[in-house]
Structure 1
Amino acid sequence: MTELKTERRAVRLTSRGAATRARIVRAAADLMRVRGVNATTLDDVRTASGTSKSQLYHHFADKDALVRDVVDLWARSVLEREERQLQKLSSFRGLQRWRTMLVQLNSLQNGAYGCVLGSLANELSDQNEEARSTLAATFATWEELIAKGLRRMQDNGSLSGDADPARLATGLMAALQGGYMLARAARDISAMETALDMALDHIETYLTSSPA
């Protein structure tokens, strides 16, 4: 339903209007990632995007409407990245490479910002039901990408048939998000590395042979 509304709204926009709207959403997304949703005002967004108050309110009736588009933008961005990394995952070494990629990305800010989806969920789950629903669906899709990789490992015989890919994917996601949170609080990615490594150690117990 949200996608259909977005499509209908986009049809009514001129190319210039669409560009203005995208600029507003991008500026809001960047600000909310660093400052948080509650600490970011519409005036902040207007200044950062170089738009007037009338332009801002032409595209967004209120802050909640803008936040919904910000959540959609970040959800698409994260899933596009994860699909690139996980769509062909079929080995334990692939999981290790995925873990290293995420840790390295988070180390660029010493863990200061954590996972943008986790941060949004912490702020919005009790405030904006539509945003909460979008975030929950995004996490579920992310988990399923991991689970599909684990199923491919079962199909190629490197992961035991006794393993439950869905449960292992949930555990790995929980370790990842918990690691993000601890790294953000400490400004140190060590806890994130430990959490992910322990989750991978558990998955390794289901391997049928040494990782290739």
Structure 2
Amino acid sequence: MADVKNQPPRLTSKGQATRARILGVAADLILKRGVVGTQIDDVRRAAEVSGSQMTHYFKDKRALVKDVIAWQAQATLDNHTQPELGHLDSFASLRLWAHLVTERQKQVGLEGGCQFGSLAGQLVESDAETRADLAAGFERWLELFRKGLLAMRDRGDLRREADPEALAYALLGALQGGMLLAQTLRRIEPLRDALDAAVTHVESFAADTADAADVV
């Protein structure tokens, strides 16, 4: 797991590790119980820290939830920036991304879905500030796809009329919708087929369609 962004100043390495552990525990509890069903004291006990430690890192539940959003967004990006995926800037890397996402869901028994998406579903209508925090997380995710797709277009892999913004929406939308359906139906096909359709859509803009077909 990469270091959490926007760490409070002057934290020691041990302090950063403790804070990251608390955030991981909080994210897991929120995923299982929901935000309403997760209290500060629940997190404290599960993380095995003292009350003074909790208040040192998070002044209240709102601050904790805000930091969980940022932590979960970073964790999601970490899962999409594995070395084998490069910069998601080739047809092959997008196909591999779709495969890895699908396999990961199989390994967890289709339980949990997208953790950041689940968090957003719970909190998006809470208040404007929370919605903005969630939107920022999704924007970072979209930017990862946009950069890769833009690089493909600039390199000539994609035709000039390909719109990296629209294609990024298609990829992330397929992931979010496919994850939710697969989680609800307990079948991998909705996720597998949604991702396949989204990547196939990207491949339809290949400057040389034979190049895209080679990686299917």
Shorter-chain TM range is 0.7 to 0.9
SS for the counterpart of 1:100 is helix
* Match in the other structure for 2:201: 202
**What is the alpha-carbon distance in structure 2 between the residues aligned to residue 27 and residue 112 of structure 1?**
17
**What is the alpha-carbon distance in structure 2 between the residues aligned to residue 32 and residue 176 of structure 1?**
21
RMSD of aligned residue pairs (Cα, Å): 2.3
Q: Given the alignment of the two structures, is residue 68 of structure 1 paired with residue 66 of structure 2, yes or no?
A: yes
Matched to 2:30, the amino acid is M
**What is the alpha-carbon distance in structure 1 between the residues aligned to residue 61 and residue 23 of structure 2?**
11
Aligned pairs (5 A) from 1:24-39: 24-39=22-37
Identity %: 42
Deviation for aligned residue 1:41: 2.2
* Match in the other structure for 2:138: 139
SS for the counterpart of 1:10 is coil
The TM-score normalised by the length of structure 2 is 0.83
The 1:48–1:92 alpha-carbon spacing in structure 2 relative to 1, beyond 3 Å, is: same
Matched to 1:166, the amino acid is E
**What is the alpha-carbon distance in structure 2 between the residues aligned to residue 52 and residue 136 of structure 1?**
32
* Match in the other structure for 1:3: none
Q: Which ranges in structure 2 are unaligned for 5 or more consecutive residues?
A: 1-5
Could you tell me whether the CA contact under 8 Å between 1:86 and 1:146 is conserved in 2?
A: no
The 1:175–1:50 alpha-carbon spacing in structure 2 relative to 1, beyond 3 Å, is: same
Q: Per-residue displacement from partner, 1:61-94 (whole Å, max 9, x unpaired)?
A: 3211111111111111111232336553332122
Deviation for aligned residue 1:184: 1.5
* Match in the other structure for 2:181: 182
Equivalenced residue count is 206
* Match in the other structure for 2:163: 164
* Match in the other structure for 1:127: 126
**What is the alpha-carbon distance in structure 2 between the residues aligned to residue 62 and residue 187 of structure 1?**
36
Matched to 1:209, the amino acid is T
Could you tell me whether the CA contact under 8 Å between 2:86 and 2:93 is conserved in 1?
A: no
Deviation for aligned residue 1:49: 0.9
**What is the alpha-carbon distance in structure 1 between the residues aligned to residue 12 and residue 209 of structure 2?**
58
**What is the alpha-carbon distance in structure 2 between the residues aligned to residue 18 and residue 209 of structure 1?**
48
Matched to 2:46, the amino acid is A
Farther-moved stretch of structure 1 (14-23 vs 124-133): 14-23
Q: Per-residue displacement from partner, 1:28-56 (whole Å, max 9, x unpaired)?
A: 12222333322222232121111233432
**What is the alpha-carbon distance in structure 1 between the residues aligned to residue 13 and residue 92 of structure 2?**
45
Matched to 1:119, the amino acid is S
Could you tell me whether the CA contact under 8 Å between 1:89 and 1:152 is conserved in 2?
A: no
The 1:26–1:89 alpha-carbon spacing in structure 2 relative to 1, beyond 3 Å, is: closer
Q: Which ranges in structure 1 are unaligned for 5 or more consecutive residues?
A: 1-5
Could you tell me whether the CA contact under 8 Å between 2:26 and 2:43 is conserved in 1?
A: yes
**What is the alpha-carbon distance in structure 1 between the residues aligned to residue 188 and residue 161 of structure 2?**
32
